[in-house]
Chain A
Amino acid sequence: MSDKLMKLKVNVWRQTNKDQSGEMKGYVVENVDPHMSFLEMMDTLNEQLQHKGEEPVAFDHDCREGICGMCSMVINGIPHGGHKGVTACQLHMRHFNDGDEIFVEPWRAKAFPVLRDLVVDRSALDRIVASGGYVSVNTGGAPDANCLPIPKKEADLSMDAAACIGCGACVAACKNASAMLFVAAKASHLAHLPQGEPERYVRAQNMAQQMDAEGFGTCSNLSQCEAVCPKEIPVRVIAEFNSDLIKAQFKG
Chain B
Amino acid sequence: MADAMELKRGSTGPTLFGSLVKFMSSSVGSKVVMAVTGLGLCAFIMGHMAGNLLAFVGRDAFNHYAATLKGTPLLLWGTRLALLIGFPLHIWTAVRTVQLNRAARPVAYAVPSKAPARAAAKTMMLSGAVVLAYFAYHLAHFTLHLTGPQPATLLADGHYDAYSMMVMGFQQPLIAIFYVTAMVLLAAHISHGIYSLFQHLGFWGAKWTPFLKNVALVLGYGLCAGFASIPLSVLLGLIKP
Interface residues of A (CB under 8 A from B): 11, 13, 24, 74, 76-79, 82, 103, 105, 108-111, 114, 127, 173-178, 180, 208-209, 211-213, 215-224, 227-228, 235-236, 238-247, 249, 252
- Contact status of A213 and B115, CB under 8 A, knowing A110-B106, A176-B101, A239-B204: no
CB distance from A212 to the nearest CB of B (A): 5
- Give the residue among B31, B104, B118, B201 with the most A Cβ atoms within 10 A: B104
The A interface is mostly helix, strand or loop, or mixed, namely mixed
> CA A94 – CA B34 in complex, angstroms?
45
Docked complex Cα distance between A74 and B204 (Å): 30
Q: In the complex, are the beta carbons of A213 and B4 less than 8 A apart?
A: yes
Decide: A110 and B104 in contact? CB cutoff 8 A.
Answer: yes
Tell me, rounded to whole Å, the shortest Cβ–Cβ distance linking B162 to chain A: 38
Sample of 9 A–B contacts (CB below 8 Å): A11-B110, A77-B112, A208-B27, A215-B103, A219-B200, A220-B196, A235-B199, A239-B199, A239-B202
Q: Is the CB of B117 within 8 A of A175?
A: yes
State in angstroms the CA–CA spacing of A209 and B25 once bound together: 11
Contact in complex: A76, B111 (CB < 8 Å):
yes
Contact status of A175 and B113, CB under 8 A, knowing A110-B103, A242-B202? yes
The total of interchain contacts (Cβ-Cβ below 8 angstroms) comes to 153
| Residues of B bordering A, CB below 8 Å | 1, 4-5, 8, 16, 19-20, 23, 26-32, 97, 100-101, 103-118, 121-122, 124, 192, 195-196, 198-204, 209
- Among A209, A217, A223, A241, which residue has its beta carbon within 8 angstroms of that of B26? A209
Given contacts A220-B124, A223-B117, A235-B199, contact A111 B27 (CB under 8 A): no
The interface residues of chain B lying within 8 Å CB-to-CB of A76 are: 111, 114
Given contacts A79-B115, A240-B204, contact A218 B31 (CB under 8 A): yes
Quick one: which of B8, B20, B107 has the most chain A CB within 10 A?
Answer: B107
Which chain B residues border A246 with CB–CB below 8 Å? 32, 201-202
Instruction: Report the minimal beta-carbon distance from B99 to chain A, rounded to whole angstroms.
Output: 10
A208's partner among B26, B103, B192 (CB-CB below 8 A) is B26
Q: Which residues of B contact A238 (CB under 8 A)?
A: 199
A contact residues around B204 at 8 Å (CB):
236, 239-240, 243
Structural contact, A216 and B104, CB atoms closer than 8 A? yes
Asked if B1 and A242 make an inter-chain contact with CB atoms under 8 angstroms apart, the answer reads: no
B19 touching A173, Cβ below 8 Å: no
Report Cα–Cα, A173/B1, bound state, in Å: 26
B113, A78: Cβ atoms under 8 Å? yes
Q: Is A224 a contact of B113 with CB atoms below 8 Å? A: yes
Question: Taking the nearest CB of chain B, how far is it from the CB of A113, in angstroms?
Answer: 10
> Nearest-CB distance from A97 to chain B (Å)?
17
Report yes or no: B27 in contact with A218, Cβ–Cβ below 8 A: yes
